[in-house]
Structure 1
Amino acid sequence: MNFEMTTQIRVSNMKEGQKWYETLLNRKPDFIPHEGFAEWELLPGCWLQVAEGTPADGSGPLRFGVSNIEAERDRLVKMLKVPSFDIHSRPEVPVKWGTFTDPWGNQLGFFEYLNKNEEQERVNKILGTLA
């Protein structure tokens, strides 16, 4: 039985990397077990680990669900100096999405549900508030 998951992103400078990800995620890490490693629980049982090391080539993107992709893009461009990135959509896909990279070359991104009722249903299910 699977009940939790982690994904790890590596950064060559942990001090800068932790600060960058704190800004991206709008909060400090939930757990720092030792030097060179920090973790955020993004959703119950879903952890993002940032570790000092050599970033993996060709990994990702790891995309985060957001309510307003344009606002998040604008925030990252302003606060983290991320180059502006295109937002894409296709008629058969229920989300729009965009991809960017962190300063270490890790591919990240956002996605936003086009149907806000569907988005709210997902949030309720994840938070356990849907009967």
Structure 2
Amino acid sequence: MNGDYQVFRPRSEDIYDWSGGQLHPEIRQHVGVGNVVRVQVSENGSADTGWSDTPYVLVTGQGGDRLTGIVDDPYRSQYSALDNGTVIEFDRADCTEIPLDWPENEALAPRATHTGQGREITGYIEPD
């Protein structure tokens, strides 16, 4: 799948670092061009088929709360819905993870604060 996708909107509190530490949601407002974030997309553009892919995306453009990015995920496989190089658009509120210890997020990391909560598995978030 490389054109027909739907981006998942998590609950505002569902934003994590690469290790599963929960971040305060305000960090999304600081995401900009050059940062890497994770979003969750559905297969075949329908939530009914499941939220099956969680690519990392390099942000390449922004207009208000709307971001444009290129799927740039070192963990892509033959089972991934979106190939590396796929351009997608999403809202800041759609970000589910910010890997703060990745070089692209070095300047963003000092702005992040943790809630003290976390999760064992990063990536997929079960929809309500």
Note whether the superposition's TM-score is higher than 0.5.
no
TM-score (normalizing by structure 2): 0.26
The structure with higher relative contact order (CA 8 Å, sep 6+) is: 2
Greater percentage in strand: 1
TM-score (normalizing by structure 1): 0.26
Give the number of the structure whose alpha-carbon radius of gyration is greater.
Answer: 1
